[in-house]
């Protein structure tokens, strides 16, 4: 929950209009990669704990980036309608 709140704060305050498009592309890629756990399954051949760490880290980063991406996307749409 803390990561979600921090993502909302970052989305509201830190990302500028110039940074919006690269941030949204990166957030989309991050969410897609974090949802596709089959990509990371070969890590179990090395060590099961390594696979678990990668999955948990990706899920936590996605939990941080997703709320910020939603807010930035809404801000971008509002900016496009103004133009």
Q: What are phi and psi of 29, to 5 degrees?
A: -60, -40
Residue 67 burial (CB < 10 Å; 0-12/13-18/19+)? buried
Mean pLDDT, rounded, for 67-82: 90
Residues 46, 67: Cα–Cα separation, whole Å: 33
Mean pLDDT, rounded, for 6-12: 88
**Model pLDDT for residues 13-57, shown as the tens digit of each residue:** 888 888 889 999 998 888 888 877 677 788 888 888 888 888 888
Task: Give the pLDDT of residue 46.
Answer: 87
pLDDT category of residue 72 using cuts at 50, 70 and 90: very high
Task: Give the pLDDT of residue 70.
Answer: 92
CA-to-CA dists, residue 4 to 22, 40, 45, angstroms: 20, 24, 32
CA-to-CA dists, residue 61 to 2, 26, 51, angstroms: 12, 12, 16
Task: Give the pLDDT of residue 37.
Answer: 64
């Amino acid at each position: 929950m803390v990561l979600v709140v921090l993502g909302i704060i970052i989305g509201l305050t830190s990302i500028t209009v110039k940074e919006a498009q690269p941030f949204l592309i990166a957030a989309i890629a991050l969410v897609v990669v974090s949802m596709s756990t089959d990509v990371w399954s070969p890590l179990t051949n090395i060590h099961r704990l390594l696979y678990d760490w990668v999955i948990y880290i990706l899920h936590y980063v996605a939990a941080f980036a997703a709320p910020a991406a939603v807010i930035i996307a809404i801000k971008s749409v509002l900016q496009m309608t103004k133009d």
